[in-house]
Amino acid sequence: MISDGDKAKTGYLERVPVTRRARGEPRRLLLDAARNLFARKDYRSTTTREIADAAGVTEHLLFRNFGSKAGLFNQALVAPFTDFVEDFGSTWQSLIPEDTDEQELARHFVGRLYDVLIEHRGLLLTLVSSETLTDDELAATGIADIGNALAALGRISAEGIALRGLRSERPALPAHSTVAMIVGMVAMRSTFFGAEPPSREAIVDELVQAALHGFLHR
Protein backbone atom coordinates (compact mmCIF):
# COMPACT_ATOMS: atom_id res chain seq x y z
CA MET A 1 0.00 0.00 0.00
CA ILE A 2 1.40 3.41 -0.93
CA SER A 3 1.57 5.95 1.91
CA ASP A 4 0.57 9.58 1.47
CA GLY A 5 4.22 10.56 1.74
CA ASP A 6 5.24 8.13 -0.99
CA LYS A 7 2.42 9.43 -3.20
CA ALA A 8 3.79 12.96 -2.82
CA LYS A 9 7.38 11.86 -3.55
CA THR A 10 6.52 9.82 -6.63
CA GLY A 11 3.92 12.25 -8.00
CA TYR A 12 1.24 9.60 -7.68
CA LEU A 13 -2.25 11.01 -8.10
CA GLU A 14 -5.46 9.26 -7.16
CA ARG A 15 -8.05 9.31 -9.89
CA VAL A 16 -11.14 11.11 -8.70
CA PRO A 17 -14.26 10.06 -10.59
CA VAL A 18 -15.74 12.94 -12.58
CA THR A 19 -19.49 12.98 -13.04
CA ARG A 20 -20.37 14.20 -16.49
CA ARG A 21 -23.84 15.44 -17.31
CA ALA A 22 -25.62 13.85 -20.22
CA ARG A 23 -25.55 15.85 -23.43
CA GLY A 24 -28.29 18.46 -23.30
CA GLU A 25 -28.88 18.01 -19.57
CA PRO A 26 -27.76 21.55 -18.55
CA ARG A 27 -30.15 23.01 -21.12
CA ARG A 28 -33.05 20.94 -19.78
CA LEU A 29 -32.22 21.88 -16.18
CA LEU A 30 -32.07 25.57 -17.08
CA LEU A 31 -35.41 25.43 -18.90
CA ASP A 32 -37.07 23.70 -15.94
CA ALA A 33 -35.57 26.15 -13.43
CA ALA A 34 -36.60 29.13 -15.56
CA ARG A 35 -40.19 27.91 -15.85
CA ASN A 36 -40.42 27.42 -12.09
CA LEU A 37 -38.92 30.81 -11.21
CA PHE A 38 -40.80 32.81 -13.86
CA ALA A 39 -44.03 31.26 -12.56
CA ARG A 40 -43.32 32.80 -9.13
CA LYS A 41 -41.55 36.05 -10.04
CA ASP A 42 -41.90 38.42 -12.96
CA TYR A 43 -39.34 38.65 -15.74
CA ARG A 44 -37.56 41.75 -14.46
CA SER A 45 -37.02 40.52 -10.89
CA THR A 46 -35.73 37.06 -11.85
CA THR A 47 -31.96 37.03 -12.29
CA THR A 48 -29.73 34.76 -14.34
CA ARG A 49 -27.81 33.89 -11.17
CA GLU A 50 -31.01 32.66 -9.50
CA ILE A 51 -31.91 30.55 -12.51
CA ALA A 52 -28.42 29.05 -12.78
CA ASP A 53 -28.31 28.29 -9.04
CA ALA A 54 -31.75 26.65 -9.16
CA ALA A 55 -30.61 24.56 -12.13
CA GLY A 56 -27.36 23.60 -10.41
CA VAL A 57 -25.21 24.92 -13.26
CA THR A 58 -23.03 27.98 -13.87
CA GLU A 59 -24.23 31.24 -15.37
CA HIS A 60 -21.68 30.62 -18.12
CA LEU A 61 -23.72 27.60 -19.25
CA LEU A 62 -26.90 29.68 -19.25
CA PHE A 63 -25.34 32.26 -21.56
CA ARG A 64 -23.69 29.60 -23.72
CA ASN A 65 -27.01 27.81 -24.25
CA PHE A 66 -29.40 30.76 -24.55
CA GLY A 67 -27.34 33.92 -25.00
CA SER A 68 -29.26 35.95 -22.43
CA LYS A 69 -32.09 35.87 -19.92
CA ALA A 70 -34.40 37.05 -22.68
CA GLY A 71 -33.32 34.18 -24.91
CA LEU A 72 -33.95 31.70 -22.11
CA PHE A 73 -37.39 33.19 -21.42
CA ASN A 74 -38.21 32.92 -25.11
CA GLN A 75 -37.31 29.23 -25.29
CA ALA A 76 -38.79 28.32 -21.89
CA LEU A 77 -42.14 30.08 -22.14
CA VAL A 78 -42.89 31.81 -25.43
CA ALA A 79 -41.79 29.11 -27.89
CA PRO A 80 -44.12 26.42 -26.45
CA PHE A 81 -47.11 28.73 -27.01
CA THR A 82 -46.16 29.84 -30.53
CA ASP A 83 -45.23 26.25 -31.45
CA PHE A 84 -48.68 25.11 -30.30
CA VAL A 85 -50.38 27.74 -32.46
CA GLU A 86 -48.23 26.81 -35.46
CA ASP A 87 -49.02 23.11 -35.00
CA PHE A 88 -52.74 23.82 -34.68
CA GLY A 89 -52.60 25.98 -37.79
CA SER A 90 -51.08 23.05 -39.70
CA THR A 91 -53.80 20.76 -38.35
CA TRP A 92 -56.46 23.24 -39.42
CA GLN A 93 -55.08 23.50 -42.94
CA SER A 94 -55.11 19.72 -43.33
CA LEU A 95 -58.75 19.31 -42.30
CA ILE A 96 -61.51 18.25 -44.67
CA PRO A 97 -64.53 20.28 -43.43
CA GLU A 98 -67.20 17.68 -44.17
CA ASP A 99 -65.18 14.98 -42.39
CA THR A 100 -64.31 17.09 -39.34
CA ASP A 101 -65.79 16.39 -35.92
CA GLU A 102 -66.20 19.80 -34.25
CA GLN A 103 -66.24 18.30 -30.77
CA GLU A 104 -62.99 16.45 -31.37
CA LEU A 105 -61.30 19.47 -32.93
CA ALA A 106 -62.41 21.75 -30.09
CA ARG A 107 -61.17 19.26 -27.49
CA HIS A 108 -57.81 19.03 -29.27
CA PHE A 109 -57.43 22.82 -29.27
CA VAL A 110 -58.70 23.53 -25.77
CA GLY A 111 -56.93 20.57 -24.13
CA ARG A 112 -53.56 21.26 -25.75
CA LEU A 113 -53.68 24.99 -24.99
CA TYR A 114 -54.78 24.36 -21.40
CA ASP A 115 -51.83 21.99 -20.89
CA VAL A 116 -49.36 24.43 -22.45
CA LEU A 117 -50.51 27.27 -20.21
CA ILE A 118 -50.56 25.13 -17.06
CA GLU A 119 -46.97 24.04 -17.69
CA HIS A 120 -45.84 27.57 -18.60
CA ARG A 121 -47.78 29.74 -16.15
CA GLY A 122 -44.86 32.18 -15.96
CA LEU A 123 -45.80 33.40 -19.41
CA LEU A 124 -49.13 34.66 -18.09
CA LEU A 125 -47.45 36.48 -15.19
CA THR A 126 -45.08 38.26 -17.56
CA LEU A 127 -47.80 39.10 -20.09
CA VAL A 128 -49.79 40.83 -17.34
CA SER A 129 -46.81 43.09 -16.60
CA SER A 130 -45.56 43.36 -20.19
CA GLU A 131 -46.41 47.06 -20.34
CA THR A 132 -43.40 47.68 -18.10
CA LEU A 133 -41.00 46.06 -20.59
CA THR A 134 -39.12 48.07 -23.19
CA ASP A 135 -39.55 47.49 -26.91
CA ASP A 136 -36.16 45.79 -26.97
CA GLU A 137 -37.21 43.46 -24.14
CA LEU A 138 -40.49 42.63 -25.87
CA ALA A 139 -38.61 41.72 -29.03
CA ALA A 140 -35.79 39.79 -27.31
CA THR A 141 -38.10 37.74 -25.10
CA GLY A 142 -40.38 36.96 -28.02
CA ILE A 143 -43.42 38.36 -26.23
CA ALA A 144 -44.12 40.40 -29.34
CA ASP A 145 -44.58 37.07 -31.16
CA ILE A 146 -47.59 36.28 -28.96
CA GLY A 147 -49.56 38.92 -30.84
CA ASN A 148 -48.71 37.29 -34.17
CA ALA A 149 -49.82 33.91 -32.83
CA LEU A 150 -53.14 35.33 -31.62
CA ALA A 151 -53.64 36.98 -35.00
CA ALA A 152 -53.14 33.57 -36.64
CA LEU A 153 -55.82 32.10 -34.38
CA GLY A 154 -58.09 34.99 -35.32
CA ARG A 155 -57.69 34.13 -39.00
CA ILE A 156 -58.57 30.51 -38.28
CA SER A 157 -61.65 31.71 -36.40
CA ALA A 158 -62.72 33.82 -39.37
CA GLU A 159 -62.27 30.89 -41.74
CA GLY A 160 -64.30 28.63 -39.44
CA ILE A 161 -67.16 31.11 -39.28
CA ALA A 162 -67.16 31.45 -43.06
CA LEU A 163 -67.20 27.66 -43.52
CA ARG A 164 -70.30 27.43 -41.34
CA GLY A 165 -72.04 30.08 -43.42
CA LEU A 166 -72.16 32.51 -40.51
CA ARG A 167 -71.48 36.23 -40.61
CA SER A 168 -69.73 38.29 -37.97
CA GLU A 169 -68.48 41.86 -37.80
CA ARG A 170 -65.59 40.60 -35.66
CA PRO A 171 -64.78 37.08 -36.91
CA ALA A 172 -61.52 36.86 -34.94
CA LEU A 173 -63.25 37.52 -31.62
CA PRO A 174 -64.50 33.96 -30.96
CA ALA A 175 -60.94 32.59 -31.04
CA HIS A 176 -59.62 35.40 -28.85
CA SER A 177 -62.52 34.95 -26.41
CA THR A 178 -61.84 31.21 -26.20
CA VAL A 179 -58.14 31.82 -25.49
CA ALA A 180 -59.05 34.40 -22.85
CA MET A 181 -61.44 31.93 -21.21
CA ILE A 182 -58.73 29.25 -21.03
CA VAL A 183 -56.15 31.76 -19.78
CA GLY A 184 -58.54 32.89 -17.04
CA MET A 185 -59.17 29.32 -15.92
CA VAL A 186 -55.43 28.65 -15.69
CA ALA A 187 -54.53 31.97 -14.04
CA MET A 188 -57.30 31.77 -11.42
CA ARG A 189 -57.50 28.03 -10.93
CA SER A 190 -56.31 28.18 -7.30
CA THR A 191 -58.65 31.11 -6.60
CA PHE A 192 -61.62 29.26 -8.07
CA PHE A 193 -60.96 25.84 -6.58
CA GLY A 194 -58.43 26.14 -3.75
CA ALA A 195 -56.39 23.05 -3.01
CA GLU A 196 -58.87 20.63 -4.60
CA PRO A 197 -59.53 21.61 -8.23
CA PRO A 198 -61.65 19.45 -10.53
CA SER A 199 -59.77 17.01 -12.71
CA ARG A 200 -58.05 18.22 -15.84
CA GLU A 201 -60.60 16.32 -17.94
CA ALA A 202 -63.55 17.96 -16.18
CA ILE A 203 -62.10 21.45 -16.67
CA VAL A 204 -61.27 20.84 -20.33
CA ASP A 205 -64.73 19.37 -20.99
CA GLU A 206 -66.42 22.44 -19.49
CA LEU A 207 -64.23 24.76 -21.56
CA VAL A 208 -64.99 22.78 -24.72
CA GLN A 209 -68.75 22.97 -24.12
CA ALA A 210 -68.55 26.70 -23.46
CA ALA A 211 -66.55 27.24 -26.66
CA LEU A 212 -68.78 25.09 -28.84
CA HIS A 213 -72.18 26.16 -27.59
CA GLY A 214 -71.20 29.69 -26.68
CA PHE A 215 -69.66 30.64 -30.03
CA LEU A 216 -70.26 28.11 -32.78
CA HIS A 217 -73.91 27.26 -32.12
CA ARG A 218 -75.35 30.70 -31.72
What pLDDT does residue 6 have? 53
Q: Is the pLDDT of residue 194 over 50?
A: yes
What pLDDT does residue 38 have? 94
Q: What is the pTM of this model?
A: 0.82
**Each residue's pLDDT tens digit, 63-103:** 999 999 999 999 999 999 999 999 999 999 998 888 888 88
| Number of Cβ within a 10 Å radius of residue 75 | 18
Q: Is the pLDDT of residue 17 over 50?
A: no
CA distance to 141, 203, 215, per residue, from 209 (Å): 34, 10, 10
According to DSSP H, which parts of the chain are helical? 4-10, 25-38, 48-55, 59-66, 69-73, 79-94, 102-119, 121-128, 135-141, 143-163, 173-187, 189-193, 200-211
* CB-CB contact of 207 with 114 (8 Å): yes
**Each residue's pLDDT tens digit, 37-73:** 999 988 989 999 999 999 999 999 999 999 999 999 9
pLDDT-based confidence at 218, cuts 50/70/90?
low
Domains of the chain: 69-216 (1.10.357.10)
The set of residues, in sequence order, having a beta carbon less than 8 Å from that of 97 and lying 6+ positions away, is: 163
